[in-house]
Amino acid sequence: MTFWAYMLHCRGGQFYTGQTDNLEARVGSHQSGATPGFTRDRFPVTLVWCQEFPTRLEALEAERRIKGWSRAKKMALIRNDWSRISGLARKKNDPSTSSGRTEGSEAAAPTPALDTP
């Protein structure tokens, strides 16, 4: 079975990060408003990043890791800019790269494994 970690761009420039075993159905559920919670009040939502994982645990770990990332780091992930992600990882104590839940982005294609430098 395949599992996915994904990120949605929501109205107001915010991100939502989640994981699922059926990406198409889950994104459709968010887009239709059938999923209660964060995304329901932030239409429209657009899938901006996703990655396939062999186990649910790995997808869940990726989701949790990404939720703790700064806006800049999430945007670098969406752009598949691994040199920027690495640079931001070295600046953990820099206030300009602090974690936050209200963010914006542009759409991009799926990216390679999260542990890739």
| CATH class belonging to 3-97 | alpha beta
| Residue-level pLDDT at 10 | 94
Helices and strands counted in the chain (H then E): 4, 3
Give dist(CA 78, CA 56) in Å, integer: 21
Amino acid 89: pLDDT = 86
Say what the pTM is.
0.75
Task: Write down the pLDDT at residue 113.
Answer: 47
User: In the chain, where are the structural domains located?
Assistant: 3-97
pLDDT tens string, the chain, 117 residues long: the values are 999 999 999 999 999 999 999 999 999 999 998 988 898 888 899 999 999 999 999 999 999 999 999 999 999 999 999 999 999 987 665 555 444 433 333 334 444 444 433
Phi first, then psi, for residue 88 (nearest 5°) are: -70, -30
